[in-house]
A and B are shown apart, each in its own frame.
Chain A
Amino acid sequence: MRLAAQSWLIVILALIAAVAAFGLAINRNLPDPHLGPAMAKRAPNPSRGAYIATLGDCAACHTTPGGAALAGGVPLATPLGSVYSTNITPDREHGIGAYSFTDFARVMRQGVRPDGARLYPAMPYTAYAKVSDEDLQDLFAYLTQKVAAAPAPDRVPGIPWLLRVRWPLALWNKAFLQDARFAPEPAKGAAWNRGAYLVQGLAHCGTCHTPRGLGFQEISVDGGSAFYLSGARLAGESPVNLRGNAGDGLGRWSADEIAELLATGRSPHAAVLGQMGEVVAQSTQFMTPDDRSAIAAYLKSLPPAPEEGRATYAPSGATLAAFMAGRESTVPGARMFMDSCAACHRLSGEGEGRSFPHLGGSPTVLAQHPDSLIRVILKGARLPATEAAPSRLAMPPFGWRYDDQQVAALASFVRQSWGNNAAAVSAEDVERVRKGLR
């Protein structure tokens, strides 16, 4: 019920903001997207722009499965209800065909359309604000020159009518938008800077992996906070901590292993789950090896998030020893693990190479919010197909086999075995996730 409470809080905030906005008499003029003077002379490169679109994974939100490319209509959950992505094909009526480059840059950096209307920050313009003039120009050239126009009208958001008033978002921007391009740190080297630019900007990793504040804003967009990319809870999943924590983070991963995960969806430590599978399938597998390595190098540079309240991992053979000694029946969840999980993940929890994920020290298993772990147990999971690793290895669902209490016991066992030390999962947690799946 936390979600509902959050919604009401936002309703109240929105009303206060509405009143305040009247009082402040906000400047209704279109903001300046701050394009550099060199842009006027630069010849845009639409082929390079296609790669920018891949880095930005535009298709993830703007293309429905089986639908026209980039014609919008994908539902995006927000605490207020679903909003739908828009048509970004060159269609003049429904898409961006009538946009100037300046109009486009304003949308990407400030979330303001040519007609002055404000975008919901479900569109990650707070991240795209980091993107360089050149990359934006090439992306615009790609979208307007290489993409087929689709006459698909935008869908009306599933947000209650009263809250559909968008101009208070100007206030949201004032509070939360840092309208500044990525500033390289020369001392850190080229790879780090490229990685930071991609992670903070086009790849918009923080959209899912950074915890959000009361205003649904990412609490940090540029690595200035130790909670940047420290894991979150979003749309029924728990995107993992990408910082250097040795427990729920990437502290024990090598940069190469991170890059491998981005290329194939799998690594010796863990496999991707849920929406990250789509990110790998549509975006990261098509990145250049250098860009994937740059991302990995940047992520490896992020120090651990504050450990307070986080799970730890200290590899231990005690669980396997207990199984081998026949003591498993005294541990709730262990029997179920043996019956349903050990065939692949093994009694050691080590899994098998890149085929069956290692459960000891898995960021998903150890995440602060157990949503993704519960979801996988209930619903199963399937790896993305990539060029390098096309097998869509799947875990079958077990939601039909175990009730909420049993899933809680099983998830708790997994979170507290082989050296994993994460908080137990309650039947209420499972019930909540199960409801979200319906």
Chain B
Amino acid sequence: MAVTNKSVDVVIVGFGWTGAIMAIELAKTGLNVLALERGEDQDTVPSFAYPKVVDEIAQSARNGLLQNLSKTTVTIRHDKDGRALPYRQIGSFKPGTGVGGAGIHWSGVHSRVMPEELRLKTHTLERYGRGFIPEDMQLQDWGVSYEELEPHFDRFEYVCGTSGKAGNIDGVMMPGGNPFEAPRAREYPLPPLKDPPTSVLFAKATKELGYNPFPLPASNASRPYRNPYGCDLGPCNFCGFCSDYGCINYSKASPQTTILPALRAMPNFAYRTHAHVTRVNTSADGKTATGVTYIDAQGREVFQPAGMVVLAAFHLHNVRLMLSSKIGKPYDPNTGEGVIGRNFCYQLINSVNTFFDKQTYINPFMGSGGVGQAIEDFNADNFDHGPLGFIGGGIIWGRQTGIGPVRGIPLPKGAPTWGSGWKQAVKDNYAHTGRIEAQMSNMAYRGAYLDLDPTYRDAYGEPLLRMTLDWQDNDLRMSEFFGDKLNAIAKAMGATSASGRVLKRGDHWDTRAYQSTHINGGTSMGTDPKTSAVNKYLQSWDTSNLFVLGANVFAHGIGYNPTGLVGALAYWAADNIRSKYLKSPGPMAAV
């Protein structure tokens, strides 16, 4: 080993949302904390300075803020007998990079989780019986309850300045909010964003259909806001550049806008960029992490000793580090044994464009990442699955996030795809186009998993992570159900036509078309070390001074967007490290 650094108390791998949360919460105890980030440093000014960042070619077409796939990527196949090929161009999902991570280019939709999703196995057995669960579906409880997480959901929302309307404060139903909401301790920190035209039409239509629309919670600030760390946000101006972009306006919550200003003031915290971690080093018996190894900007291999290691990189990288560091038993789909790579899931989305007559102005150039109206009548177990015969659910929304020419202007079915006919169709339709979507949970299956690719290696000589995943019958039947709902809502909204992408039985995962970046599972949390990689405190079962954050700890998919849960779990882990682990280091949960 060429270089060995001075030891620190805590080394954090990855400096996005979870890294920033863990860094500030642990630095507050006085520990020496170091975060390692593989990408560039970046801040609102100059990195996202107006007007240069709102460049659709640089960001949406050329993926300026995303992981450089020529350095490292993943391989993908649909089933365990296929040959995996590298993901060479950004398509279906968009891993971030650099300080702030995916917290820079996310949209801002900020939800929690439904309580029964955290105990889905028990809940399903209780309500529907064992025969209801498909044979190859690996349902399991997460080991943590909604009640335990509530203060941490609250904390993350108040850090982010989330704009929304409570539906249920401590069991008291609140008019205007989501009636299916799990109880929250208090109102959102900011009122909802103003509804754009798509959302107004969506709310009216869903109400007429007997559903319960509510303002989608958004971490795009509706007012000026100072968060509990003292960080200032400015209100969103609906410029329509959220997903794929860094926010020009200090409006979208990101590590940069909500945590890093306070963290930078702490003398016991430091971060290093261009530090690509390749390994968690462990003691000979594997029970203690001794630090991490990374490749620095000069290409040198550096050992960073630490008393505690936190994996806080994006999902893919966390799982691969567990595999390449040989911590925990790799999952074997043939035997169903092993935990690292198990229960890999990927949220499904159905997206329908709604086209209106010329009197109905949508003005889709304006918007905000999280703004919209939504219904949860078909999320989690808010509806009776019995007659439907599938497990899972989702959220349906009418958002308006900004549609631009380079990002793609949708046109009705049958419109010309090029030339003057296309131009005329754009002229006729652009200002009158909206979009409604259903985002659905993806259950865990025996054959969907992550491991190290036997063939392909990255620029650092490390094997790529291999994804094995395809859509399953249960999920596709759910998708068809949601497709029908979307079409009915589009009709009730008064759309003259509606078309888009609805996953149906027989469809396979198309890695070329953007779906969402909501991949999860692979190092599940849980109560049983035979089916989970980390315990309810996100502590590795095998290596007790290693904590693993991120959506990779989800035991299976959920209906909501993951960021709210990812952030809350990071606060939950940090809180327990402070109150329990630091006082008495060692395994925190009994096997």
Q: Identify the A interface with B (CB < 8 A).
A: 266, 339-340, 343-344, 346, 352-356, 380, 382, 385, 387-397, 401
A384 to chain B, nearest CB (A): 11
Is the C-beta of B133 less than 8 angstroms from some C-beta in chain A? no
How far does the alpha carbon of A380 sit from the alpha carbon of B43 in the complex, in Å? 15
Point out the residue from B45, B230, B264 that lies within 8 Å of A388, measured CB to CB: B230
- Beyond A355-B232, A388-B230, A391-B230, whether A343 also contacts B223 by CB under 8 A is no
Q: Across the two chains, which residue of chain A brings its CB closest to B52?
A: A396
How far does the alpha carbon of A389 sit from the alpha carbon of B224 in the complex, in Å? 13
Is the C-beta of B234 less than 8 angstroms from some C-beta in chain A? yes
Instruction: For A380, list chain B residues within 8 Å (CB).
Output: 45, 49
Q: Is the CB of A340 within 8 A of B232?
A: no
Instruction: For B231, list chain A residues within 8 Å (CB).
Output: 390-391
How far does the alpha carbon of A389 sit from the alpha carbon of B264 in the complex, in Å? 12
7 pairs, A vs B, C-beta closer than 8 Å: A343-B50, A355-B232, A387-B230, A388-B230, A391-B261, A393-B44, A393-B232
Q: Is the CB of A343 within 8 A of B237?
A: yes
How far does the alpha carbon of A173 sit from the alpha carbon of B198 in the complex, in Å? 72
Instruction: For A392, list chain B residues within 8 Å (CB).
Output: 261
- Beyond A392-B261, A394-B44, A394-B45, whether A355 also contacts B224 by CB under 8 A is yes
Interface residues of B in 229-258 (CB under 8 A from A): 229-235, 237, 239, 248-250, 257
Q: Identify the B interface with A (CB < 8 A).
A: 43-46, 49-51, 223-224, 226, 229-235, 237, 239, 248-250, 257, 261-262, 264-265
Instruction: For B239, list chain A residues within 8 Å (CB).
Output: 343
Q: Is the CB of A390 within 8 A of B265?
A: yes
Q: Is the CB of B50 within 8 A of A354?
A: no
Q: Across the two chains, which residue of chain A brings its CB closest to B263?
A: A390
Instruction: For B257, list chain A residues within 8 Å (CB).
Output: 391
Q: Is the CB of B226 within 8 A of A352?
A: no
How far does the alpha carbon of A393 sit from the alpha carbon of B233 in the complex, in Å? 9
Q: Is the CB of A396 within 8 A of B50?
A: yes
A351 to chain B, nearest CB (A): 9
- Beyond A354-B226, A355-B250, A380-B45, whether A390 also contacts B261 by CB under 8 A is yes
Point out the residue from B43, B46, B49, B224 that lies within 8 Å of A353, measured CB to CB: B224
A362 to chain B, nearest CB (A): 17
Q: Is the CB of B224 within 8 A of A354?
A: yes
- Beyond A390-B264, A394-B45, A395-B45, whether A343 also contacts B248 by CB under 8 A is yes
- Enumerate the 6 nearest inter-chain pairs by beta-carbon distance, A residue then B residue, closest first: A353-B224, A396-B49, A355-B234, A394-B45, A390-B261, A391-B232
Q: Across the two chains, which residue of chain A brings its CB closest to B233?
A: A355
Q: Across the two chains, which residue of chain A brings its CB closest to B44?
A: A394
Q: From A339, A340, A385, A388, name the one whose CB has the most chain B CB atoms within 10 angstroms.
A: A385
Q: Is the CB of B229 within 8 A of A390?
A: yes
Point out the residue from A343, A382, A389, A397 that lies within 8 Å of B232, measured CB to CB: A389
Q: Is the CB of A344 within 8 A of B265?
A: no
Point out the residue from A388, A393, A397, A401 that lies within 8 Å of B234, measured CB to CB: A393
Q: Is the CB of B232 within 8 A of A396?
A: no
Instruction: For A389, list chain B residues within 8 Å (CB).
Output: 226, 230, 232
How far does the alpha carbon of A344 sit from the alpha carbon of B226 in the complex, in Å? 16
Instruction: For A393, list chain B residues within 8 Å (CB).
Output: 44, 232, 234, 250
Instruction: For B230, list chain A residues within 8 Å (CB).
Output: 387-391
How far does the alpha carbon of A393 sit from the alpha carbon of B234 in the complex, in Å? 9
B99 to chain A, nearest CB (A): 15
A262 to chain B, nearest CB (A): 16
Q: Across the two chains, which residue of chain B brings its CB closest to A382?
A: B45
Q: From B46, B232, B239, B250, name the one whose CB has the most chain A CB atoms within 10 angstroms.
A: B232
8 additional A-B pairs beyond A340-B51, A343-B248, A390-B262, beta carbons within 8 Å, are A343-B50, A352-B224, A355-B232, A392-B261, A393-B44, A393-B232, A395-B45, A396-B46
How far does the alpha carbon of A127 sit from the alpha carbon of B233 in the complex, in Å? 39
Instruction: For A343, list chain B residues within 8 Å (CB).
Output: 50, 237, 239, 248-249
Instruction: For A390, list chain B residues within 8 Å (CB).
Output: 229-231, 261-262, 264-265
Q: Is the CB of A396 within 8 A of B45?
A: yes
Q: Across the two chains, which residue of chain A brings its CB closest to B227?
A: A391
How far does the alpha carbon of A401 sit from the alpha carbon of B257 in the complex, in Å? 26
Instruction: For B250, list chain A residues within 8 Å (CB).
Output: 355, 391, 393
Q: Is the CB of B44 within 8 A of A387?
A: no
Point out the residue from B49, B234, B249, B264 that lies within 8 Å of A385, measured CB to CB: B264
How far does the alpha carbon of A39 sit from the alpha carbon of B255 in the complex, in Å? 53
Q: From A266, A353, A354, A390, name the one whose CB has the most chain B CB atoms within 10 angstroms.
A: A390
Instruction: For A353, list chain B residues within 8 Å (CB).
Output: 223-224, 234
Q: Across the two chains, which residue of chain A brings its CB closest to B235?
A: A352
Instruction: For B262, list chain A residues within 8 Å (CB).
Output: 390
Instruction: For B248, list chain A residues within 8 Å (CB).
Output: 343
How far does the alpha carbon of A315 sit from the alpha carbon of B194 in the complex, in Å? 27
Instruction: For A382, list chain B residues within 8 Å (CB).
Output: 45
Q: Is the CB of B232 within 8 A of A354?
A: yes
Instruction: For A339, list chain B residues within 8 Å (CB).
Output: 51
B189 to chain A, nearest CB (A): 14
Instruction: For B46, list chain A residues within 8 Å (CB).
Output: 396
A36 to chain B, nearest CB (A): 41
How far does the alpha carbon of A388 sit from the alpha carbon of B232 in the complex, in Å? 10
Q: Is the CB of B51 within 8 A of A344?
A: no
How far does the alpha carbon of A50 sit from the alpha carbon of B226 in the complex, in Å? 31
- Beyond A340-B51, A344-B249, A385-B265, whether A352 also contacts B229 by CB under 8 A is no
Instruction: For A387, list chain B residues within 8 Å (CB).
Output: 230, 265
Q: From B43, B223, B235, name the one whose CB has the most chain A CB atoms within 10 angstroms.
A: B235
Q: Across the two chains, which residue of chain B brings its CB closest to A396?
A: B49
Q: Across the two chains, which residue of chain A brings its CB closest to B266?
A: A390
Instruction: For B224, list chain A residues within 8 Å (CB).
Output: 352-356
B265 to chain A, nearest CB (A): 5
How far does the alpha carbon of A82 sit from the alpha carbon of B107 in the complex, in Å? 50
Q: Across the two chains, which residue of chain B brings its CB closest to A390?
A: B261
Q: Across the two chains, which residue of chain B brings its CB closest to A395?
A: B45
A160 to chain B, nearest CB (A): 38
How far does the alpha carbon of A395 sit from the alpha carbon of B239 in the complex, in Å? 17
B436 to chain A, nearest CB (A): 28
Instruction: For A356, list chain B residues within 8 Å (CB).
Output: 224, 234
Instruction: For B51, list chain A residues within 8 Å (CB).
Output: 339-340, 401
How far does the alpha carbon of A344 sit from the alpha carbon of B233 in the complex, in Å? 11
Instruction: For A385, list chain B residues within 8 Å (CB).
Output: 261, 264-265
How far does the alpha carbon of A397 sit from the alpha carbon of B51 in the complex, in Å? 10
How far does the alpha carbon of A45 sit from the alpha carbon of B234 in the complex, in Å? 44
How far does the alpha carbon of A385 sit from the alpha carbon of B231 in the complex, in Å? 10
Instruction: For B265, list chain A residues within 8 Å (CB).
Output: 385, 387, 390
B588 to chain A, nearest CB (A): 32
- Beyond A391-B231, A391-B257, A395-B45, whether A340 also contacts B223 by CB under 8 A is no
